[in-house]
Structure 1
Amino acid sequence: MSESNPDNTLPVDSPDRKRLPPLLRRAWYSLNQALRRRIAPTGATPDQFTALRTLTEADPKGITQGQLTRLMSSDPNTIASLLERMEKAGWVERKRHETDRRAYRIKITAKGRKLFENLRDVAVNLQSQVLSVLDEADREDFLKKLATVADACREAADNSPKRKKS
């Protein structure tokens, strides 16, 4: 076993191996599960919370579905069905874009904003709980580095060849 990299002798799928994809997936999945369980009584999902947060932080006139898709790092079909359910619940409204008839402009409603405020409190408390394993200085450093890694991952995805449809 190498002193500089003890992970080299571990099997590729070992939970003890410090590899970015499994660590990110485990962290994301566990955090998503915790949030899902905590907000379940509201009828909302973590993706719906993320959409509400994104719309709350966006231009008050709303954003397009394409912009929401990009900001949520998702795909158009997922966002379309997510918005359909949210619109039925009265949390968002979709209107045809003023200048691009193919696009929709999405806005959060008063009902959606109220729900978001409740969900935000749950999410903030969960984040505080999870990050409490780090001291304050390490929290800031961790989040800054994680943002850098997230940006690098997005850049890698943007610069990768798209899959050809058959």
Structure 2
Amino acid sequence: MATEEFNDDLPIDSPERKRLPLLLRRAWYGLNQAFRRQISHAGATPDQFTALRTLCEGDPAGLTQSELTRAMSSDPNTVASLLERMENNGWLERKPHETDRRAKRIIILPTGREKYSELRDCAVDLQGDILTTLPADRRDSFLKELAQVADACHAAAAEAGRKNRE
């Protein structure tokens, strides 16, 4: 596979230059579609897997919907709809929060943990397969750099929101 040189001399929006938004979208879409196809037999979606993983790895007492939304880098309406379907599947339950009457605590149920375990190997294998396209000595630094880009995108979104409210 030929590698293309990154040319800082070109304007950032030059057609001859790789563009961050399109590359991120293409990467996310390809990964999401591959995972969706691999787990479709299990009656789950990539977003449901992400919620299950976040709940399994989070506070054993459960997370609030706001905490889950932030952890998933999603929006409240999407997560509310997702949780309703997952609750109907018997994977989790929403209980009143012990100190905040407006909030619900999301508790993963044993069937949700089982579903997560069923899907986890597919997720791990897919990530491994994708990362093998990079040299082994670059994989960790690539993920660290990608995390920096993700953090910068999140900060830019927050800043844009603040500017719009001013």
Q: What's the TM-score once normalised by structure 1's chain length?
A: 0.89
8 Å CA contact retained: 1:7, 1:18: no
| Residue in 1 that maps onto 2:3 | none
Q: Where do 1:73-84 residues align within 5 Å?
A: 73-84=73-84
The alignment yields a C-alpha RMSD, in angstroms, of: 2.0
The one-letter code sitting in structure 2 at the alignment partner of 1:79 is: V
C-alpha distance in 2 between matches for 1:9 and 1:46: 32
| Residue in 1 that maps onto 2:133 | 133
Q: Where do 1:5-154 residues align within 5 Å?
A: 5=8, 8=11, 12=15, 17-154=17-154
Shift of 1:7: 5.6
Where does structure 2 lack aligned partners over 5 or more consecutive residues? Answer: 1-5
C-alpha distance in 2 between matches for 1:6 and 1:109: 54
Shift of 1:11: 6.0
- Aligned positions, number: 159
Shift of 1:160: 1.4
Shift of 1:41: 0.4
2:105 aligns to what SS in structure 1?
Answer: strand
1:73 aligns to what SS in structure 2?
Answer: coil
8 Å CA contact retained: 2:12, 2:19: no
The one-letter code sitting in structure 2 at the alignment partner of 1:75 is: D
1:93 aligns to what SS in structure 2?
Answer: strand
C-alpha distance in 2 between matches for 1:4 and 1:82: 42
C-alpha distance in 1 between matches for 2:124 and 2:39: 12
2:160 aligns to what SS in structure 1?
Answer: coil
Shift of 1:159: 1.5
Where does structure 1 lack aligned partners over 5 or more consecutive residues? Answer: none
| Percent of aligned pairs with the same amino acid | 60
2:107 aligns to what SS in structure 1?
Answer: strand
C-alpha distance in 2 between matches for 1:42 and 1:20: 33
C-alpha distance in 1 between matches for 2:10 and 2:117: 43
Q: Assess, with a 3 A threshold, how the Cα gap between structure 1 residues 98 and 34 changes in structure 2: closer, same or farther.
A: same
